[in-house]
Amino acid sequence: MTNKNNQHVVRLALLLGLFSTLGPFTIDMYLPAFPQIVKQFDTTASLVQLSLTACLLGLGIGQLVMGSLSDVYGRRNPLLLSMAVYVFASLACAFAPNIGLLIAFRFVQGFAASAGIVISRAIARDLYSGHELTKFFSLLLLVGNLGPLVAPVTGSGILSFTTWIGVFIALALLGIYLWTMTKWGLQETLPSDRRRPSNFAQQLRNYGSLLRDRQFIGYMLAQGIMIAGVFAYVSGTPFIYQNIYGASPTVFALLFGSNGISLILGSQLVGRMAHRVTEHTFLLFGLWLACLASVTVLVVAIVHGPLFALVIPLFFFVAAIGITSTAAFPLAMESQGHMAGSAAALLGVIPFLLGAVVSPLVGIAGEDTAVPLGVIILLTSAAAMLAYFLLVRRCTGRAA
């Protein structure tokens, strides 16, 4: 590959990675403000966490819609529409008069943000396949995973001179920037002759076909259930770090953001070693690492160990997500080039729907215990492992 081609690949990965960061920024940027929002609306931690649940539902359901639309109308136009809606929803969140409307607008915001996630991945599949897709996807994740690293720190920085309202205004500005990038910096990658017919029944058949593919479902569940565990971590740590261990919003942001480094390390390990170690091997390694780390988190939570004893296994747990996500995505997408948008949507929807279920459960025992977090991430790790062995390994008939 020439130097000119390398530069083009890097520029494209940077652009698509920016769209991928919209999800993490939408989820993570307001996390340091959770205690502030509780006081602002005189509400409970669980209701504030419900605003995160609403966002996750929007991100999940939106991917099903936007993935299908991108297979019918191409990649650019759905992105342009969704970015415009995102700007409106972000401003609506900023000026919501009560927690109920904030929850509702967070759903709309998540729905609009979903396009950046699912369409960026569909574009990657439009252009690459095989090991090249794995390498490009790891490069895309290198940029996209900066979101969890930067978003909470950025949110904490904004909170140092303004209220949580400023966080949502900043997200609106981010949406304007991404609309501009879509309009003038992104070329269409799905020509008219490769688009699916505009037929709702056909779209349902596409999803039905994907859901009958045992290997695809196995990869989807292994990846999706694991990421759902991360959303439990996202929902629980603002209260665990700040309320239980007394961390300031800035310290919380630094601790939380450090796991963006672990995501990057995990994804880049797979990308760099793609030609030497199979994606199946990396997927299984990531699943085992997640199980071990989650057991450690649960033990530390039960004995109420020191903060560093909790942060370290969580670091490895999130690294395992980077490994499994990077390995599972190309394996699932390899044979789905004819409906990449729909396949990417299903791969994206499961984590957010499951995340929407588990996020409020982290606070079910109150704000003064980390045990529910340990239980949830252990259960998700075990369930992901079970999905892999029952659907993928049994179907392939070989060790990963």
When pLDDT is cut at 50, 70 and 90, the band that residue 103 belongs to is: very high
pLDDT of residue 28: 81
Token digits of residue 181 = 């990038």
Side-chain half-sphere exposure of 105, counting CA atoms within 13 A: 19
Q: What is the DSSP letter of 361?
A: G
Q: Is 305 helix (H, G, I), strand (E, B) or coil?
A: coil
Domain boundaries in the chain? 12-183+206-396
Q: Look up tokens 């005189």; give the residue.
A: 42
Runs of H (alpha helix) within 145-278: 146-159, 164-185, 200-211, 214-239, 249-272
Superfamily of segment(s) 12-183+206-396? MFS general substrate transporter like domains (1.20.1250.20)
What SS3 class is residue 206? helix
What rounded mean pLDDT belongs to the chain?
A: 84
Q: State pLDDT tens for residues 122-144.
A: 888 888 877 788 778 777 777 77
For residue 250, what pLDDT is reported? 79
The residue written with tokens 């390995």 in the block is 327
* Res 95 pLDDT > 60: yes
**Token pair recorded at residue 132:** 């090249």
| pLDDT level of residue 335 (50, 70, 90 thresholds) | low
- Record the tokens describing residue 211, joined without a space: 């859901």
pTM over 0.75: no
pLDDT (tens digit per residue) in 349-358: 787 778 778 7
Instruction: Tell me how far CA of residue 98 lies from CA of 71, 94, 153, 170, 307, in angstroms.
Output: 38, 11, 26, 20, 34
Query: What pLDDT is recorded for position 399?
Result: 41
- Of the listed ranges 91-105, 107-121, 172-186, 267-281, the one predicted with least confidence: 267-281
Residue 31 has pLDDT above 90, yes or no: no
pLDDT of 384 strictly over 70: yes
- Residues 181, 190: Cα–Cα separation, whole Å: 18
Model confidence at 365: pLDDT above 60: no
For residue range 160-178, what is the model confidence (pLDDT) as tens digits?
888 899 999 999 999 999 9
Pick from 323, 304, 321, 308: nearest CA to 374: 304
Mean pLDDT confidence for 308-312 = 92
